[in-house]
Structure 1
Amino acid sequence: MNTPATLTYVYAVTRRTEPLGEALAGLLGIGRAPVRLLLPTALPTAPTARGSGGLAFVASEVPERDFNESALKDHFEDLQWLEDVARTHHDVVQAIAALAPLLPLRMATVYQDESRARQALTAQHHTFARLLDELQAHTEYGVKIYLTPPTAADARSAGGATATSAAPTSPGKAYLHARRAQHHAREAVYEQAKQAADLIEAIAARHTTRRARHAPQRGALTGPQENVLNDAYLIPDDQAEPFRRAIADAARNFPDLRIEVTGPWAPYSFAMSDPDSPADPRQSPP
Protein backbone atom coordinates (compact mmCIF):
# COMPACT_ATOMS: atom_id res chain seq x y z
CA MET A 1 0.00 0.00 0.00
CA ASN A 2 1.08 3.59 -0.60
CA THR A 3 2.50 5.73 2.15
CA PRO A 4 0.81 9.15 2.56
CA ALA A 5 3.25 11.11 0.40
CA THR A 6 3.64 8.70 -2.52
CA LEU A 7 1.98 7.86 -5.84
CA THR A 8 1.91 4.56 -7.70
CA TYR A 9 4.23 4.59 -10.71
CA VAL A 10 3.53 1.92 -13.35
CA TYR A 11 6.30 0.79 -15.70
CA ALA A 12 4.57 -1.90 -17.73
CA VAL A 13 1.86 -4.53 -18.04
CA THR A 14 3.00 -8.14 -17.92
CA ARG A 15 1.82 -11.69 -17.38
CA ARG A 16 2.67 -13.32 -14.08
CA THR A 17 5.23 -16.10 -14.28
CA GLU A 18 7.21 -17.90 -11.59
CA PRO A 19 10.64 -16.66 -12.81
CA LEU A 20 9.30 -13.12 -12.85
CA GLY A 21 8.11 -13.29 -9.27
CA GLU A 22 11.53 -14.51 -8.14
CA ALA A 23 13.39 -11.80 -10.08
CA LEU A 24 11.33 -8.97 -8.60
CA ALA A 25 12.76 -9.69 -5.16
CA GLY A 26 15.90 -7.68 -5.95
CA LEU A 27 14.65 -5.23 -8.58
CA LEU A 28 14.66 -1.53 -7.65
CA GLY A 29 12.87 1.24 -9.51
CA ILE A 30 12.84 5.02 -9.42
CA GLY A 31 14.33 6.35 -6.19
CA ARG A 32 15.52 2.80 -5.46
CA ALA A 33 12.00 1.83 -4.40
CA PRO A 34 11.19 -1.91 -4.55
CA VAL A 35 9.37 -3.00 -7.70
CA ARG A 36 6.29 -5.19 -7.22
CA LEU A 37 3.39 -6.65 -9.16
CA LEU A 38 -0.11 -5.20 -8.80
CA LEU A 39 -3.00 -7.50 -9.66
CA PRO A 40 -6.41 -6.40 -10.97
CA THR A 41 -9.22 -5.83 -8.52
CA ALA A 42 -11.21 -8.67 -10.09
CA LEU A 43 -10.51 -11.64 -12.31
CA PRO A 44 -11.32 -11.17 -16.04
CA THR A 45 -14.57 -12.66 -17.30
CA ALA A 46 -12.77 -14.52 -20.13
CA PRO A 47 -9.32 -16.15 -20.30
CA THR A 48 -6.51 -14.54 -22.26
CA ALA A 49 -5.84 -16.00 -25.69
CA ARG A 50 -2.58 -17.62 -24.69
CA GLY A 51 -3.33 -17.99 -20.99
CA SER A 52 0.25 -17.98 -19.68
CA GLY A 53 -0.80 -16.21 -16.49
CA GLY A 54 -2.98 -13.39 -15.24
CA LEU A 55 -2.03 -9.80 -15.98
CA ALA A 56 -0.28 -7.49 -13.57
CA PHE A 57 1.11 -3.96 -13.46
CA VAL A 58 4.84 -3.63 -12.74
CA ALA A 59 4.88 -0.79 -10.23
CA SER A 60 6.69 1.02 -7.44
CA GLU A 61 6.06 3.98 -5.18
CA VAL A 62 7.38 7.44 -6.10
CA PRO A 63 7.34 10.70 -4.13
CA GLU A 64 4.15 12.67 -4.72
CA ARG A 65 6.12 15.94 -4.58
CA ASP A 66 8.07 14.90 -7.71
CA PHE A 67 5.33 13.21 -9.73
CA ASN A 68 2.18 15.24 -9.20
CA GLU A 69 0.93 17.09 -12.27
CA SER A 70 2.46 20.44 -11.32
CA ALA A 71 5.85 18.97 -10.43
CA LEU A 72 6.03 17.00 -13.68
CA LYS A 73 5.52 20.15 -15.75
CA ASP A 74 8.63 21.59 -14.11
CA HIS A 75 10.62 18.36 -14.22
CA PHE A 76 10.01 17.92 -17.93
CA GLU A 77 12.22 21.00 -18.42
CA ASP A 78 15.01 19.45 -16.34
CA LEU A 79 17.06 17.31 -18.72
CA GLN A 80 19.10 15.65 -15.97
CA TRP A 81 15.96 14.63 -14.06
CA LEU A 82 14.39 13.32 -17.26
CA GLU A 83 17.50 11.34 -18.12
CA ASP A 84 17.66 9.72 -14.68
CA VAL A 85 13.98 8.76 -14.64
CA ALA A 86 14.02 7.54 -18.25
CA ARG A 87 17.09 5.37 -17.63
CA THR A 88 15.59 3.74 -14.54
CA HIS A 89 12.23 3.25 -16.29
CA HIS A 90 14.02 1.60 -19.21
CA ASP A 91 16.14 -0.61 -16.94
CA VAL A 92 13.05 -1.94 -15.16
CA VAL A 93 11.24 -2.56 -18.44
CA GLN A 94 14.19 -4.39 -19.98
CA ALA A 95 14.67 -6.53 -16.87
CA ILE A 96 11.04 -7.64 -17.00
CA ALA A 97 11.05 -8.11 -20.78
CA ALA A 98 13.86 -10.67 -20.43
CA LEU A 99 11.58 -12.84 -18.28
CA ALA A 100 7.97 -12.37 -19.41
CA PRO A 101 5.78 -10.88 -22.16
CA LEU A 102 5.47 -7.16 -21.56
CA LEU A 103 3.75 -3.94 -22.65
CA PRO A 104 5.93 -1.00 -21.63
CA LEU A 105 3.97 2.07 -20.55
CA ARG A 106 5.05 5.62 -21.16
CA MET A 107 7.41 7.28 -18.72
CA ALA A 108 5.67 8.96 -15.77
CA THR A 109 2.50 6.88 -15.86
CA VAL A 110 1.24 7.49 -12.32
CA TYR A 111 -1.89 6.78 -10.30
CA GLN A 112 -3.04 8.38 -7.09
CA ASP A 113 -2.68 5.11 -5.19
CA GLU A 114 -2.44 1.37 -5.54
CA SER A 115 -6.21 0.93 -5.54
CA ARG A 116 -6.63 3.28 -8.54
CA ALA A 117 -3.91 1.41 -10.41
CA ARG A 118 -5.62 -1.93 -9.80
CA GLN A 119 -8.94 -0.52 -10.99
CA ALA A 120 -7.29 0.77 -14.18
CA LEU A 121 -5.74 -2.64 -14.84
CA THR A 122 -9.13 -4.29 -14.40
CA ALA A 123 -10.82 -1.81 -16.75
CA GLN A 124 -8.18 -2.27 -19.46
CA HIS A 125 -7.60 -5.99 -18.89
CA HIS A 126 -8.95 -7.34 -22.17
CA THR A 127 -7.24 -4.65 -24.25
CA PHE A 128 -3.91 -5.31 -22.54
CA ALA A 129 -4.33 -9.07 -22.97
CA ARG A 130 -5.04 -8.71 -26.68
CA LEU A 131 -2.04 -6.43 -27.20
CA LEU A 132 0.20 -8.86 -25.33
CA ASP A 133 -1.00 -11.67 -27.58
CA GLU A 134 -0.26 -9.58 -30.69
CA LEU A 135 3.27 -8.81 -29.50
CA GLN A 136 4.06 -12.33 -28.28
CA ALA A 137 7.44 -13.56 -29.63
CA HIS A 138 8.13 -10.18 -31.25
CA THR A 139 10.83 -7.65 -30.40
CA GLU A 140 11.40 -4.04 -31.38
CA TYR A 141 14.48 -2.92 -33.32
CA GLY A 142 15.34 0.55 -34.55
CA VAL A 143 16.98 1.60 -37.81
CA LYS A 144 18.62 5.00 -38.14
CA ILE A 145 20.35 6.68 -41.09
CA TYR A 146 22.92 9.41 -40.41
CA LEU A 147 24.63 11.75 -42.84
CA THR A 148 28.24 12.55 -42.08
CA PRO A 149 29.05 16.28 -41.56
CA PRO A 150 29.99 18.21 -44.74
CA THR A 151 33.72 18.66 -45.24
CA ALA A 152 36.04 20.42 -47.64
CA ALA A 153 36.44 17.06 -49.36
CA ASP A 154 32.75 17.21 -50.28
CA ALA A 155 33.33 20.38 -52.26
CA ARG A 156 36.43 19.03 -53.96
CA SER A 157 34.77 15.76 -54.93
CA ALA A 158 31.68 17.52 -56.22
CA GLY A 159 33.73 20.10 -58.09
CA GLY A 160 35.69 17.41 -59.92
CA ALA A 161 37.48 18.53 -63.04
CA THR A 162 35.56 21.81 -63.11
CA ALA A 163 37.32 22.91 -59.96
CA THR A 164 40.70 22.78 -61.67
CA SER A 165 39.92 23.52 -65.30
CA ALA A 166 37.74 26.56 -64.64
CA ALA A 167 39.26 28.09 -61.53
CA PRO A 168 37.43 31.22 -60.28
CA THR A 169 39.15 34.55 -60.93
CA SER A 170 38.38 36.26 -57.59
CA PRO A 171 37.99 35.34 -53.92
CA GLY A 172 34.25 36.01 -54.14
CA LYS A 173 33.81 33.71 -57.10
CA ALA A 174 35.99 31.09 -55.45
CA TYR A 175 33.75 31.17 -52.37
CA LEU A 176 30.57 30.86 -54.42
CA HIS A 177 32.08 28.07 -56.46
CA ALA A 178 33.04 26.14 -53.32
CA ARG A 179 29.59 26.64 -51.79
CA ARG A 180 27.90 25.46 -54.99
CA ALA A 181 30.13 22.39 -55.16
CA GLN A 182 29.44 21.59 -51.51
CA HIS A 183 25.71 21.92 -52.12
CA HIS A 184 25.90 19.47 -55.01
CA ALA A 185 27.86 17.04 -52.85
CA ARG A 186 25.25 17.18 -50.08
CA GLU A 187 22.47 16.67 -52.61
CA ALA A 188 24.24 13.51 -53.74
CA VAL A 189 24.43 12.26 -50.14
CA TYR A 190 20.73 12.99 -49.58
CA GLU A 191 19.96 11.00 -52.72
CA GLN A 192 21.99 8.11 -51.28
CA ALA A 193 19.96 8.37 -48.07
CA LYS A 194 16.72 8.14 -50.03
CA GLN A 195 17.97 5.06 -51.87
CA ALA A 196 19.08 3.52 -48.56
CA ALA A 197 15.67 4.21 -47.00
CA ASP A 198 13.93 2.53 -49.95
CA LEU A 199 16.19 -0.51 -49.62
CA ILE A 200 15.58 -0.73 -45.86
CA GLU A 201 11.83 -0.60 -46.47
CA ALA A 202 12.12 -3.49 -48.94
CA ILE A 203 14.12 -5.53 -46.43
CA ALA A 204 11.62 -4.75 -43.69
CA ALA A 205 8.77 -5.99 -45.86
CA ARG A 206 10.38 -9.44 -45.80
CA HIS A 207 11.25 -9.67 -42.12
CA THR A 208 9.03 -7.38 -40.03
CA THR A 209 5.35 -7.12 -39.17
CA ARG A 210 4.91 -3.45 -38.25
CA ARG A 211 6.75 -0.16 -38.57
CA ALA A 212 6.61 3.05 -36.53
CA ARG A 213 8.06 6.27 -37.92
CA HIS A 214 9.71 8.57 -35.40
CA ALA A 215 10.92 12.12 -35.96
CA PRO A 216 14.64 12.31 -36.77
CA GLN A 217 16.76 13.03 -33.71
CA ARG A 218 18.47 16.37 -33.30
CA GLY A 219 21.07 18.10 -31.18
CA ALA A 220 23.13 16.29 -28.56
CA LEU A 221 21.56 12.94 -29.43
CA THR A 222 23.26 12.86 -32.84
CA GLY A 223 26.37 15.03 -32.43
CA PRO A 224 27.72 16.48 -35.69
CA GLN A 225 25.94 13.89 -37.82
CA GLU A 226 22.47 14.54 -39.24
CA ASN A 227 19.83 11.90 -38.52
CA VAL A 228 17.46 11.59 -41.50
CA LEU A 229 15.69 8.29 -40.72
CA ASN A 230 14.57 7.07 -37.30
CA ASP A 231 12.19 4.12 -37.71
CA ALA A 232 11.20 1.30 -35.38
CA TYR A 233 10.20 -2.20 -36.49
CA LEU A 234 8.35 -5.00 -34.76
CA ILE A 235 10.12 -8.22 -35.71
CA PRO A 236 9.27 -11.86 -35.02
CA ASP A 237 12.05 -13.28 -32.90
CA ASP A 238 13.02 -15.84 -35.54
CA GLN A 239 13.50 -13.04 -38.09
CA ALA A 240 15.68 -10.75 -35.98
CA GLU A 241 19.06 -12.07 -37.10
CA PRO A 242 18.15 -12.31 -40.82
CA PHE A 243 16.91 -8.71 -40.59
CA ARG A 244 20.09 -7.45 -38.94
CA ARG A 245 22.28 -9.27 -41.46
CA ALA A 246 20.31 -7.90 -44.40
CA ILE A 247 20.61 -4.32 -43.11
CA ALA A 248 24.36 -4.75 -42.52
CA ASP A 249 24.79 -6.06 -46.08
CA ALA A 250 22.78 -3.14 -47.48
CA ALA A 251 24.81 -0.59 -45.50
CA ARG A 252 27.97 -1.60 -47.35
CA ASN A 253 26.49 -0.07 -50.50
CA PHE A 254 26.35 3.38 -48.89
CA PRO A 255 29.81 4.33 -47.60
CA ASP A 256 28.84 8.01 -47.17
CA LEU A 257 26.09 7.12 -44.70
CA ARG A 258 26.01 5.57 -41.24
CA ILE A 259 23.19 3.03 -41.00
CA GLU A 260 22.62 1.82 -37.46
CA VAL A 261 20.42 -0.96 -36.08
CA THR A 262 19.50 -0.60 -32.40
CA GLY A 263 17.88 -3.11 -30.08
CA PRO A 264 16.58 -5.52 -29.08
CA TRP A 265 14.08 -3.41 -27.16
CA ALA A 266 10.80 -4.03 -25.42
CA PRO A 267 8.06 -2.94 -27.87
CA TYR A 268 7.83 0.71 -26.77
CA SER A 269 6.70 1.92 -30.20
CA PHE A 270 3.91 -0.62 -30.54
CA ALA A 271 2.58 -1.31 -27.05
CA MET A 272 0.16 1.60 -26.72
CA SER A 273 -0.92 2.15 -30.32
CA ASP A 274 -4.44 0.96 -29.52
CA PRO A 275 -7.19 3.63 -29.16
CA ASP A 276 -8.21 2.06 -25.84
CA SER A 277 -4.80 2.70 -24.31
CA PRO A 278 -4.55 4.97 -21.24
CA ALA A 279 -4.74 8.71 -21.79
CA ASP A 280 -2.21 11.28 -20.61
CA PRO A 281 0.14 9.27 -18.37
CA ARG A 282 1.02 12.31 -16.28
CA GLN A 283 -2.44 12.49 -14.79
CA SER A 284 -4.11 10.10 -12.39
CA PRO A 285 -7.43 8.67 -13.59
CA PRO A 286 -10.54 10.16 -11.99
Structure 2
Amino acid sequence: MANFTYLYGLVPTKEAENQSFPSMKGFDGQTEPFTIVIQDITAIVSLLDSKQYSEEIIQDKINQDMEWLQEKAFHHHETVINLAKLYTIVPMKFCTIYQNQERLIEAIRSTRERIAATFKALSGNEEWNLKIYCEDSQLKKHVSEKNPVIEAKKAEISGLPKGRQFFELKKIDKLIDSELEKEKHRVSKSIHHQLKHFVIQGNVKRNWNKDVTGRRENMTWNGVYLVSEKNVEPFLKQIKQYEDNMLGLGWRFEASGPWPAYHFSSFIGEGNHVDKRIN
Protein backbone atom coordinates (compact mmCIF):
# COMPACT_ATOMS: atom_id res chain seq x y z
CA MET A 1 0.00 0.00 0.00
CA ALA A 2 1.42 3.39 -1.03
CA ASN A 3 1.15 6.17 1.51
CA PHE A 4 1.01 9.94 1.22
CA THR A 5 2.47 12.11 3.99
CA TYR A 6 0.16 14.64 5.62
CA LEU A 7 2.07 17.53 7.20
CA TYR A 8 0.64 19.40 10.21
CA GLY A 9 3.62 21.60 10.98
CA LEU A 10 7.32 21.99 11.70
CA VAL A 11 8.88 22.43 15.15
CA PRO A 12 12.45 22.85 16.42
CA THR A 13 14.02 19.46 17.09
CA LYS A 14 15.34 20.65 20.48
CA GLU A 15 11.79 21.38 21.62
CA ALA A 16 10.52 18.06 20.25
CA GLU A 17 13.23 16.23 22.20
CA ASN A 18 12.45 18.06 25.45
CA GLN A 19 8.67 17.69 25.27
CA SER A 20 7.04 14.29 24.81
CA PHE A 21 4.86 13.94 21.73
CA PRO A 22 1.13 13.70 22.57
CA SER A 23 -0.99 10.71 21.60
CA MET A 24 -3.71 11.61 19.08
CA LYS A 25 -5.50 10.35 15.99
CA GLY A 26 -4.23 11.24 12.54
CA PHE A 27 -6.05 12.77 9.58
CA ASP A 28 -7.60 9.44 8.58
CA GLY A 29 -8.96 8.85 12.09
CA GLN A 30 -7.07 5.58 12.41
CA THR A 31 -3.31 5.98 12.33
CA GLU A 32 -1.43 8.17 14.81
CA PRO A 33 0.73 11.17 13.88
CA PHE A 34 4.49 10.82 14.31
CA THR A 35 7.64 12.87 13.84
CA ILE A 36 10.32 12.96 11.15
CA VAL A 37 13.60 14.53 12.27
CA ILE A 38 15.56 16.47 9.65
CA GLN A 39 18.55 17.72 11.69
CA ASP A 40 17.32 20.74 13.70
CA ILE A 41 13.81 20.65 12.20
CA THR A 42 11.15 18.11 13.12
CA ALA A 43 8.11 17.53 10.93
CA ILE A 44 4.86 16.35 12.50
CA VAL A 45 3.03 14.12 10.05
CA SER A 46 0.56 11.30 9.57
CA LEU A 47 0.21 8.74 6.80
CA LEU A 48 -2.68 8.54 4.32
CA ASP A 49 -3.63 5.71 2.01
CA SER A 50 -2.93 7.11 -1.45
CA LYS A 51 -5.98 5.31 -2.90
CA GLN A 52 -8.38 6.83 -0.38
CA TYR A 53 -6.80 10.30 -0.38
CA SER A 54 -5.88 10.94 -3.99
CA GLU A 55 -6.06 14.50 -5.29
CA GLU A 56 -9.29 13.73 -7.14
CA ILE A 57 -10.98 12.20 -4.09
CA ILE A 58 -9.97 15.11 -1.85
CA GLN A 59 -11.26 17.65 -4.37
CA ASP A 60 -14.57 15.80 -4.65
CA LYS A 61 -14.92 15.67 -0.88
CA ILE A 62 -14.21 19.37 -0.51
CA ASN A 63 -16.63 20.32 -3.27
CA GLN A 64 -19.45 17.92 -2.41
CA ASP A 65 -19.20 16.69 1.18
CA MET A 66 -19.51 19.59 3.62
CA GLU A 67 -19.67 17.27 6.63
CA TRP A 68 -16.35 15.66 5.66
CA LEU A 69 -14.76 19.04 5.04
CA GLN A 70 -15.87 20.43 8.41
CA GLU A 71 -14.71 17.33 10.24
CA LYS A 72 -11.28 17.25 8.61
CA ALA A 73 -10.72 21.01 8.81
CA PHE A 74 -11.63 20.90 12.51
CA HIS A 75 -9.24 17.99 13.05
CA HIS A 76 -6.38 19.86 11.37
CA HIS A 77 -7.07 23.08 13.27
CA GLU A 78 -7.41 21.39 16.67
CA THR A 79 -4.28 19.30 16.11
CA VAL A 80 -2.20 22.36 15.24
CA ILE A 81 -3.63 24.30 18.21
CA ASN A 82 -2.70 21.47 20.61
CA LEU A 83 0.80 21.25 19.14
CA ALA A 84 1.21 25.03 19.44
CA LYS A 85 0.65 24.70 23.19
CA LEU A 86 3.73 22.48 23.40
CA TYR A 87 6.10 23.73 20.70
CA THR A 88 7.10 26.70 18.59
CA ILE A 89 5.36 25.60 15.41
CA VAL A 90 5.31 26.66 11.79
CA PRO A 91 1.75 25.54 11.04
CA MET A 92 0.74 24.18 7.66
CA LYS A 93 -2.40 25.00 5.75
CA PHE A 94 -5.23 22.45 5.65
CA CYS A 95 -4.44 19.48 3.39
CA THR A 96 -0.71 19.96 2.98
CA ILE A 97 0.16 16.56 1.52
CA TYR A 98 3.33 15.07 0.06
CA GLN A 99 3.57 12.09 -2.23
CA ASN A 100 6.13 10.52 0.08
CA GLN A 101 8.46 11.29 2.98
CA GLU A 102 11.43 11.79 0.66
CA ARG A 103 9.69 14.70 -1.10
CA LEU A 104 8.88 16.28 2.25
CA ILE A 105 12.45 15.92 3.54
CA GLU A 106 13.81 17.41 0.32
CA ALA A 107 11.46 20.41 0.63
CA ILE A 108 12.48 21.02 4.24
CA ARG A 109 16.19 20.80 3.48
CA SER A 110 15.86 23.26 0.62
CA THR A 111 14.26 25.88 2.90
CA ARG A 112 16.06 25.03 6.12
CA GLU A 113 17.51 28.51 6.72
CA ARG A 114 14.16 30.20 6.23
CA ILE A 115 12.43 27.76 8.58
CA ALA A 116 15.11 28.35 11.24
CA ALA A 117 14.61 32.12 10.90
CA THR A 118 10.85 31.64 11.28
CA PHE A 119 11.34 29.60 14.47
CA LYS A 120 13.42 32.46 15.87
CA ALA A 121 10.78 35.05 14.88
CA LEU A 122 7.93 33.06 16.45
CA SER A 123 9.64 31.93 19.65
CA GLY A 124 8.09 33.62 22.69
CA ASN A 125 5.41 35.28 20.56
CA GLU A 126 1.69 34.64 19.98
CA GLU A 127 -0.77 35.34 17.19
CA TRP A 128 -3.92 37.25 18.18
CA ASN A 129 -6.92 38.29 16.13
CA LEU A 130 -9.00 41.44 16.55
CA LYS A 131 -12.35 41.88 14.84
CA ILE A 132 -13.99 45.30 15.12
CA TYR A 133 -17.75 45.67 14.61
CA CYS A 134 -20.05 48.67 14.48
CA GLU A 135 -23.78 49.15 14.98
CA ASP A 136 -24.37 51.58 12.12
CA SER A 137 -27.52 53.15 13.51
CA GLN A 138 -25.72 54.33 16.66
CA LEU A 139 -22.69 55.73 14.88
CA LYS A 140 -24.81 57.25 12.11
CA LYS A 141 -26.58 59.48 14.63
CA HIS A 142 -23.21 60.73 15.89
CA VAL A 143 -21.92 61.32 12.34
CA SER A 144 -25.04 63.22 11.29
CA GLU A 145 -24.67 65.56 14.29
CA LYS A 146 -20.90 65.90 14.71
CA ASN A 147 -19.26 65.30 11.33
CA PRO A 148 -17.69 68.55 9.98
CA VAL A 149 -18.54 67.67 6.35
CA ILE A 150 -22.19 67.18 7.25
CA GLU A 151 -22.25 70.34 9.34
CA ALA A 152 -20.76 72.35 6.48
CA LYS A 153 -23.30 70.91 4.04
CA LYS A 154 -26.20 71.77 6.37
CA ALA A 155 -24.88 75.33 6.72
CA GLU A 156 -24.60 75.59 2.95
CA ILE A 157 -28.17 74.35 2.49
CA SER A 158 -29.54 76.76 5.09
CA GLY A 159 -28.38 79.67 2.92
CA LEU A 160 -30.24 78.45 -0.17
CA PRO A 161 -33.74 79.48 -1.26
CA LYS A 162 -36.50 77.37 0.32
CA GLY A 163 -37.21 75.47 -2.89
CA ARG A 164 -33.57 74.47 -3.31
CA GLN A 165 -33.31 73.51 0.37
CA PHE A 166 -36.01 70.88 -0.03
CA PHE A 167 -34.15 69.03 -2.80
CA GLU A 168 -30.71 69.39 -1.22
CA LEU A 169 -31.92 68.05 2.14
CA LYS A 170 -33.17 64.92 0.38
CA LYS A 171 -29.62 64.29 -0.84
CA ILE A 172 -28.00 64.70 2.54
CA ASP A 173 -28.83 61.13 3.66
CA LYS A 174 -26.51 59.79 0.96
CA LEU A 175 -23.77 62.10 2.16
CA ILE A 176 -24.28 60.89 5.74
CA ASP A 177 -24.02 57.25 4.60
CA SER A 178 -20.82 58.06 2.75
CA GLU A 179 -19.31 59.85 5.75
CA LEU A 180 -20.39 56.96 7.99
CA GLU A 181 -18.33 54.49 5.95
CA LYS A 182 -15.35 56.85 5.96
CA GLU A 183 -15.65 57.24 9.73
CA LYS A 184 -15.74 53.48 10.31
CA HIS A 185 -12.64 52.97 8.21
CA ARG A 186 -10.83 55.96 9.74
CA VAL A 187 -11.45 54.85 13.33
CA SER A 188 -10.61 51.19 12.66
CA LYS A 189 -7.41 52.07 10.82
CA SER A 190 -6.41 54.44 13.61
CA ILE A 191 -6.89 51.69 16.21
CA HIS A 192 -4.86 49.29 14.09
CA HIS A 193 -1.95 51.73 13.97
CA GLN A 194 -2.18 52.49 17.69
CA LEU A 195 -2.05 48.78 18.51
CA LYS A 196 1.24 48.49 16.63
CA HIS A 197 2.88 50.00 19.71
CA PHE A 198 2.07 46.74 21.52
CA VAL A 199 2.86 44.23 18.75
CA ILE A 200 5.75 42.97 16.66
CA GLN A 201 3.73 42.87 13.46
CA GLY A 202 0.14 43.53 12.41
CA ASN A 203 -1.66 42.55 9.22
CA VAL A 204 -5.12 43.24 7.85
CA LYS A 205 -7.47 40.51 6.62
CA ARG A 206 -10.66 40.73 4.59
CA ASN A 207 -13.81 41.63 6.53
CA TRP A 208 -16.52 38.97 6.91
CA ASN A 209 -20.16 39.63 6.09
CA LYS A 210 -23.06 39.07 8.47
CA ASP A 211 -23.85 35.65 6.96
CA VAL A 212 -20.47 34.44 8.22
CA THR A 213 -20.30 36.28 11.56
CA GLY A 214 -23.96 35.75 12.53
CA ARG A 215 -23.92 39.19 14.16
CA ARG A 216 -26.23 42.15 13.61
CA GLU A 217 -23.32 44.62 13.54
CA ASN A 218 -21.17 45.08 10.45
CA MET A 219 -17.52 44.06 10.67
CA THR A 220 -15.33 47.09 10.03
CA TRP A 221 -11.85 45.61 10.61
CA ASN A 222 -10.22 42.19 10.78
CA GLY A 223 -6.65 42.35 12.01
CA VAL A 224 -4.06 39.75 13.03
CA TYR A 225 -1.14 40.57 15.30
CA LEU A 226 2.06 38.89 16.40
CA VAL A 227 2.45 39.79 20.07
CA SER A 228 5.27 38.94 22.46
CA GLU A 229 4.07 36.97 25.47
CA LYS A 230 5.04 39.82 27.81
CA ASN A 231 2.89 42.30 25.85
CA VAL A 232 -0.27 40.21 25.54
CA GLU A 233 -1.79 41.61 28.72
CA PRO A 234 -1.18 45.29 27.79
CA PHE A 235 -2.44 44.56 24.26
CA LEU A 236 -5.71 43.10 25.55
CA LYS A 237 -6.03 45.85 28.17
CA GLN A 238 -5.80 48.49 25.45
CA ILE A 239 -8.53 46.77 23.42
CA LYS A 240 -10.75 46.63 26.51
CA GLN A 241 -10.19 50.35 27.00
CA TYR A 242 -11.29 51.04 23.42
CA GLU A 243 -14.45 49.03 24.01
CA ASP A 244 -15.28 50.80 27.27
CA ASN A 245 -14.73 54.24 25.74
CA MET A 246 -16.55 53.61 22.45
CA LEU A 247 -19.46 51.37 23.41
CA GLY A 248 -21.93 54.26 23.38
CA LEU A 249 -21.15 54.96 19.72
CA GLY A 250 -21.94 51.42 18.61
CA TRP A 251 -18.44 49.97 18.49
CA ARG A 252 -17.79 46.34 19.50
CA PHE A 253 -14.43 44.56 19.83
CA GLU A 254 -13.69 40.83 19.69
CA ALA A 255 -10.13 39.75 20.52
CA SER A 256 -9.24 36.06 20.30
CA GLY A 257 -6.12 33.98 20.73
CA PRO A 258 -3.52 32.81 21.07
CA TRP A 259 -3.65 31.04 17.69
CA PRO A 260 -1.02 29.11 15.75
CA ALA A 261 0.93 31.71 13.78
CA TYR A 262 -0.58 30.96 10.36
CA HIS A 263 -0.31 34.60 9.28
CA PHE A 264 3.29 35.13 10.34
CA SER A 265 4.98 31.99 9.06
CA SER A 266 5.34 30.32 5.72
CA PHE A 267 7.01 27.30 4.23
CA ILE A 268 8.05 27.60 0.58
CA GLY A 269 8.15 23.84 0.15
CA GLU A 270 4.49 23.32 1.09
CA GLY A 271 2.76 20.48 -0.73
CA ASN A 272 -0.83 20.25 -1.88
CA HIS A 273 -3.11 23.03 -0.58
CA VAL A 274 -6.30 21.50 -1.88
CA ASP A 275 -6.09 23.42 -5.16
CA LYS A 276 -2.60 22.26 -6.12
CA ARG A 277 -1.28 18.93 -7.22
CA ILE A 278 0.11 16.56 -4.65
CA ASN A 279 3.92 16.72 -4.87
1:140 aligns with 2:127: yes
1:210 aligns with 2:201: yes
Unpaired stretches in structure 1, ≥5 consecutive residues: 44-53, 163-172
Q: Answer whether contact 2:143 2:176 (CA < 8 A) is retained.
A: no
Deviation at 1:30, TM superposition (A): 1.9
What amino acid sits opposite 1:124 in the alignment?
T
Q: Answer whether contact 2:243 2:252 (CA < 8 A) is retained.
A: yes
1:102 aligns with 2:89: yes
Instruction: Pick from 33, 39, 42 the counterpart of residue 35 of structure 1.
Output: 33
> How many Å separate the matches in 2 of 1:198 and 1:156?
18
> How many Å separate the matches in 2 of 1:279 and 1:31?
18
Q: Answer whether contact 1:138 1:237 (CA < 8 A) is retained.
A: yes
> How many Å separate the matches in 2 of 1:180 and 1:72?
53
Change (3 A) 1:15 1:145: same
- Corresponding residue number in structure 1 for 2:59: 73
> How many Å separate the matches in 2 of 1:252 and 1:182?
30
Instruction: Pick from 103, 121, 124 the counterpart of residue 108 of structure 2.
Output: 121
TM-score by length of 2: 0.76
Q: How does 1:1-286 map to 2 (within 5 A)?
A: 4=1, 6-16=3-13, 17-20=16-19, 22-24=20-22, 26-32=23-29, 33-40=31-38, 43=39, 54-65=40-51, 67-77=53-63, 78-148=65-135, 184=176, 187-188=179-180, 191-204=183-196, 206-223=197-214, 224-255=216-247, 256-272=250-266, 276-278=268-270, 280-282=272-274, 283-285=277-279
Unpaired stretches in structure 2, ≥5 consecutive residues: 146-153, 155-165
Q: Answer whether contact 1:155 1:182 (CA < 8 A) is retained.
A: no
SS of residue in 1 equivalent to 2:109: helix
Deviation at 1:102, TM superposition (A): 0.8
The count of aligned residue pairs is: 250
Deviation at 1:82, TM superposition (A): 2.6
What amino acid sits opposite 1:284 in the alignment?
I
CA RMSD of aligned residues (A): 3.2
Compare 218-227 and 179-188 and name the one that shifted more.
179-188
Q: Answer whether contact 2:6 2:48 (CA < 8 A) is retained.
A: yes
> How many Å separate the matches in 2 of 1:226 and 1:122?
45
Change (3 A) 1:208 1:259: same
> How many Å separate the matches in 1 of 2:34 and 2:211?
35
Change (3 A) 1:86 1:183: farther
Q: Answer whether contact 2:210 2:217 (CA < 8 A) is retained.
A: no
1:19-60, CA deviations, whole angstroms, 9 ceiling, x for partnerless residues?
53x232x122323231111122xx4xxxxxxxxxx2111111
> How many Å separate the matches in 2 of 1:190 and 1:248?
23
SS of residue in 2 equivalent to 1:196: helix
> How many Å separate the matches in 1 of 2:256 and 2:67?
23
> How many Å separate the matches in 2 of 1:207 and 1:73?
41
> How many Å separate the matches in 1 of 2:110 and 2:142?
64
Q: Answer whether contact 1:192 1:254 (CA < 8 A) is retained.
A: no
> How many Å separate the matches in 2 of 1:28 and 1:154?
51
TM-score by length of 1: 0.75
Change (3 A) 1:183 1:60: farther
Q: Answer whether contact 1:147 1:225 (CA < 8 A) is retained.
A: yes
Identical amino acids, percent of aligned pairs = 20
Change (3 A) 1:80 1:219: farther
1:92-133, CA deviations, whole angstroms, 9 ceiling, x for partnerless residues?
111111111110011110011223222322332222112111
SS of residue in 2 equivalent to 1:73: helix
SS of residue in 2 equivalent to 1:76: helix
Change (3 A) 1:249 1:57: same
SS of residue in 1 equivalent to 2:270: coil
